[in-house]
Every structure is written in structure tokens, then in C-alpha cells.
Structure 1
Amino acid sequence: MILSEIWIYPIKSLGGISLSEATVEERGLQYDRRWMLVDAGGKFITQRKVHAMTLIDVSFAEAGFLAMHRSFPQDPLFIPFEPKSQEPVQVKVWDDDVEAITVSDEADRWFSRYLRQTLRLVKMPEASKRLVDSRYAQHGESVSFADGYPLLVIGQASLDELNKRLPEPVSMRRFRPNLVVTGTSPFAEDYWTDLQIGSATFNAVKPCARCVLTTIDPDTGQTGAEPLKTLATYRKHKGKILFGMNLLAMPGHIAVGDRVEIH
């Protein structure tokens, strides 16, 4: 089994960045979902309700990132690793109240303009602690602004099996994994417990329940019934549609091409 893809999503629910190697931290891959957009009340927003977020790509730049709306490539936004303002602010992710810091007035104006509502861009500082659900945490682990767990892994064979059943195939980008593994049988990840990849170790703790975000085409922002409609016919368990496995992590380094060992 081989690690075939590594993805980070620096700003929650915006475009991902494909990497050849990555640093693994307890709360997830370095830079993954450490930034997030919140509304005027401090509540997180995602593609689930704001489909236009899928049209904003993120890429690395010197000492930071660039955000770019695909329809307005002439107007990119630079987001430094170290925020300009760093004003402390309380934000909400699901039921969690989280300590964050603001990034810049410029970023707030840019995202508010392109997503057509009053928004703020915030960052999770290192000192902020958002705990993994105690039912699944093993040592009081922290998580980033991700939905609930530090990382998500999916086997390429699982997507291949799904695409055999779909009227039109979908890409892995629909499911926003951090890690993609080749050389497995379909849905082998359902049964994994402990993984070793490179110098990092991972614990598989909970299958990932999928939502309407997977029905949004990442290229166009258009939504439809698939792939949830088809997944519901054979991947539904206790009312949840499952695809992929959530992971906890111990720090280390990983690279595309690394062997994946299951213990």
C-alpha cells in the first residue's frame, strides 16, 4: 500500500493544495485548516450553505498563501502566515467555542466582497486548544478548524468502486481527503486501526459520515444528487453515509510514495 496523494486545505472549505510531502502535527497536517471564515456572529461558514466558496482557490506564496476567485484572477489576496492584526476573537465551529485571532481588515473586505456577506478571516493560534470528541480521543488530542478530526484518509479503490456505480464519475476532490492510499481493496480503510506512514503514526478512530458538501462540483460550484444518492444504496449505516476514515496523528513527516503499513 502506497501513499499516493497528500492534500491540505489551509482555509476551511476553500480550495485544497496538493503536496508531495508534509509535516504531520497532532492537530493535523501543517497549515491544514488553521484559517477559517466566520460570519458577523463569529460562526463558521462552509460550502454546505455557501456554494461559491468552492470557486476560491488557495496556493502557496512566499511567507503565506494566495487566495484567488477563479472568475477574478486579476485580484488575488495575499494571506501571510503571521496575521497582521492578531486581535483575539471567540469563534464557533459546530458546538465548539474556539479561541482565534483575526488576520487583517483587507482579508475581511476581500472575502466579504466575493462571497457577498459580512465575513472575517481568522486563524487558530498555536496556544488555542480545540479538543477531539472525547468518545474517540485517546490522549486528549487537539484538532484544527476541521470538522472534527485531525486527518481524513480514503483508499483510491473506494473511489474507483463508487465510480463504477455512478452515472458520471466524480473526482477525489469531492471528498476532501488529506491522504489517499493506493494498493488496497475497496473500503479496506473501514477496518484499519494503527497506521505507519513515513515517520508518522496514525490511529483510525471513526468512519467519516458524509454530507451535502460532496454533492457540490468543485469545478463549477453546481450541486446535484450524486454521489450521496448512490452511496446511500450501499454505504449507509445507522442513518449515516460513510466514506473515508478519520485519523488521529502523532507528529512526523510523510511523502507521496511512502509505504503505508497497518498494525
Structure 2
Amino acid sequence: MFFTPERTPLQEFLHPSSRLQYDAEFWKTVAKVAVAGAVLSAGTICCVRYLNSRYPGWYRLRGKKRGRLPPPRVGAPPLKQGEKGDAAQYVPLSTEKSHGARVVQLAVYPIKSCKEILVEAFHCGELGPELRTPFGTVHDRSWMVVTDKYHFLSQRRKPRMALIQPEIDGAFLVVNAPGMSPLRVPIQPDLSTAKVVTSDVWDHQISAVDCGDEAAEWFVTFLEEPGLRMVHHPHQFGGRGMLEMDQQVMKIDRELWEKKDKCTFADGAPYLLLSQESVSELSRHTDTPVPWIHFRPNILVGGCPPNNEDYWWRFRIGSAEFRNAKPCCRCVETTVDPKTGTFARKDVLETLKAYRTNQDPAVDDVLKFGPLFAINLGVDQTGPCSVGDVIIHLPD
């Protein structure tokens, strides 16, 4: 609006022709602001919808310290038949970090979903536990049984895999199972002649080497399913980053890991730690004691209150330093009896569901996939650890 010399600003404003021009300019500005607001709102809605579809629960994890969740909120275990009293009395969960805990057992699982190798020590590498030998390094879960489409196979579908026992014999990984001749697979395949394939773990692609027809026929025979193959992920391939996971649960887990965190064929963490006291507490509420191997940890500790490991944030074992990323959600694999290779212990999962299910709505999107038992770890400093090592807690 422009003022004329003949009229004062007030007169100019009050003049009918000026007022009409002012009104037009005013409503033009209002229209522009309204359009801009509508575009901004539509863009915000689209962004939120995209985040909700691709990263469920993203808004609930904002502001939480990257690399871990808050400690789980869980219920009390159920009373067994004939027991008296309040069920809540059975889980005096201590939130104080125990300073007397030690490593009581170490386990490496060279073949995903198969038996463990118990050891007195291993090297804590960036991809998980390592058994270093003069003939090469055996990495945790660096071999895997796959379908003809190279999709991973586990005890969830083939519980008989619990009977497959790997061993190290010089330069070979020797695989044994009831009624089968030993299968010998080289620890270090010749990558210049190896058949490199793309395998699949929870919809995430990872490069691997096909172990050949002899290994394939061995697993086909024992697991009674045609088309099975065995694959291996050499250390040179570099593992798969935790931030690259594509499966639904892994999308959420991306909030909890750091760029350096990697694993090979493990479901979703390079290390798993559990206390013997947590297992003993669980066994008090089942009719038959539950062996710790049902839960397949790499590190079994003792000398702490039950489930106290939930509150261990950063700690050192031997020369290695670890970070508690989140509780481990347990699945039907915990119901497989390691001695028989059958789904014979359904009570294990049912009991855990009764008192170790997440009850915190703020993280339900992350922890809704099963009861919580043991903790998934990221490694901040690699190095050796041994049975007997004391857990040394570090500043958060």
C-alpha cells in the first residue's frame, strides 16, 4: 500500500480505495500462509506415516541413549501347583550391579542352531567369539544350514539340528550326528575357487561360500529334507552390520546398535550373556530343572542375583569390553530338548512368558516378540576372556 502526499497515513488507511487495496493485500498474505501451512502439515503427516511403516516405534526411542534400552519391566513368576504365598515374593529382582560375578562357562556355536563347543577361553572379536587355532580361526555361527534358496534353517523348523555336534580337528571342522559318518569341512576354504553365494538371515542378505555337494548330502540325509546346503562366512567377508538389518524386528533394533556392531549368521547380536542364577530361578518354577544350554549363551556367569545381568550396562571381562544393548526376546527354540532334538520342553517358554514378558508400553514395539531372558551385547573393545574372569563394571 502506498501513501499519497495529499493524505496522512491515517486518512490513507481510512480512504475507501486504500482500504480496498489493503484488504486485498491482507487476504493474499493470509492465503499464502494457509497454503504453506497445509503443505507443511501434509509433508509432516507423510513423513510420520513413512517412519511408522518403516521404523515402528521410532518415536518411542527418541532421546534414549543409543546402544541400549532401559531395564525391562517384568512380572513375577507363577506359583507351581501346591505352592503357597504371593507369586511376587519369588523374584526379588536386584537392581544393584553385582560385583562378585565371574564367568563360569564359555560356549561357541560354529554352526548356526547346532550344538556348542565348550571352551575355557575365547577371543572376543568384532563379529563374535573366536577360537584361534594354528590352522585358522573358527568364528561363532559362521557356518549355516540353508534351503535350496539359501534361506537359513534353524531348530525352529528342524529341532533335530540340536543333535549336530561340531568339533575342531586340525584344519577341519568335523560335524557329527547320531547314525551319520563324520563330515569334514575345511576351516579356511580356498576363496579363489570357492562358489560365492548370497544367503539370507531374517530377510537380510549376506555373502557366503557354498561348502559343496558332500556337505549338502550329509545334511539332506540327517535332516530328511531335499535341497539343503551348508554355507560358510569367512572372516574376510566382513560380517553384516547391525544397522543394515531389514527384517521388521531388526528395523527397530537399529536404534540400539552402533555402526561398529556386526555379526555373521547370528539372529541379531554378536554376543549373548546369561547368569546361572537366572536359570536356577527359572527352574524353581518348572517341574524339571532347565539346563542353561536351552538358551545358547556365549557367556554364562555366576555369583550374582537372578536376572541381575539386566542392569549391567558396560563391563569388562578379561581384556574385552561389552555394552548391554537390550534384553534377548526368546522364541520356540528354547523349548527344544538338546538331548533329544524334539520340542519336549514347552514349559520353558510358557513359564518365561508368565513372568519375563515386557510390561513397559514405551518399548513394547521392541520387546513384544517373546519373553526376555539373557542380554544381547555389543563389543566396545576386543580381546581374550576366560572362565573365572571377574565381571568389572565400567562407568556408563
The two structures have a TM-score, normalised by structure 1, of 0.96
Cα shift at 1:136: 1.6
Cα shift at 1:109: 1.3
In structure 1, the partner of 2:163 is 55
1:16-48 per-position Cα deviation (integer Å, ceiling 9, x unaligned): 100101011111001100111110011000000
In structure 2, the partner of 1:141 is 261
Aligned counterpart in structure 2 of residue 187 of structure 1, from 307, 331, 335? 307
SS of equivalent residue, structure 1 residue 33:
coil
2:352 matches 1:221 = no
* Structure 1 segment 66-85 matched on structure 2, within 5 A: 66-72=174-180, 75-83=181-189
Query: Which amino acid in the other structure matches residue 182 of structure 2?
Result: P
Please say if residues 98 and 128 of structure 1, whose CA atoms lie closer than 8 Å, have aligned partners that are also in contact.
Answer: no
Cα shift at 1:83: 2.5
In structure 2, the partner of 1:37 is 145
Cα shift at 1:261: 1.0
Q: Determine which structure has greater relative contact order: mean sequence separation of CA pairs < 8 Å that are 6+ residues apart, divided by chain length.
A: 1
Off by >6 Å, runs of 4+ in structure 1 = none
Cα shift at 1:128: 3.6
Higher strand share: 1
Alignment: residue pair count: 261
User: Aligned partners of 1:222 and 1:112: how far apart in 2?
Assistant: 18
2:233 matches 1:124 = yes
Please say if residues 152 and 246 of structure 1, whose CA atoms lie closer than 8 Å, have aligned partners that are also in contact.
Answer: yes
Q: Which moved more, 1:219-228 or 1:83-92?
A: 83-92
In structure 1, the partner of 2:208 is 100
User: Aligned partners of 2:177 and 2:109: how far apart in 1?
Assistant: 15
Aligned counterpart in structure 2 of residue 28 of structure 1, from 113, 128, 147? 128
User: Aligned partners of 1:29 and 1:245: how far apart in 2?
Assistant: 15
Bigger Rg over Cα: 2
User: Aligned partners of 2:314 and 2:295: how far apart in 1?
Assistant: 22
User: Aligned partners of 2:322 and 2:185: how far apart in 1?
Assistant: 30
User: Aligned partners of 1:86 and 1:119: how far apart in 2?
Assistant: 18
User: Aligned partners of 1:120 and 1:83: how far apart in 2?
Assistant: 16
Higher helix share: 2
In structure 2, the partner of 1:9 is 109
Give identity over the alignment, percent: 36
2:304 matches 1:198 = no
Cα shift at 1:51: 1.2
In structure 2, the partner of 1:247 is 377
Q: Which moved more, 1:4-13 or 1:238-247?
A: 238-247
Please say if residues 57 and 70 of structure 1, whose CA atoms lie closer than 8 Å, have aligned partners that are also in contact.
Answer: no
Please say if residues 241 and 259 of structure 2, whose CA atoms lie closer than 8 Å, have aligned partners that are also in contact.
Answer: no
Over aligned residues, Cα RMSD in angstroms? 1.3
- Structure 1: 5+ residue stretches without partners: none
In structure 2, the partner of 1:258 is 389
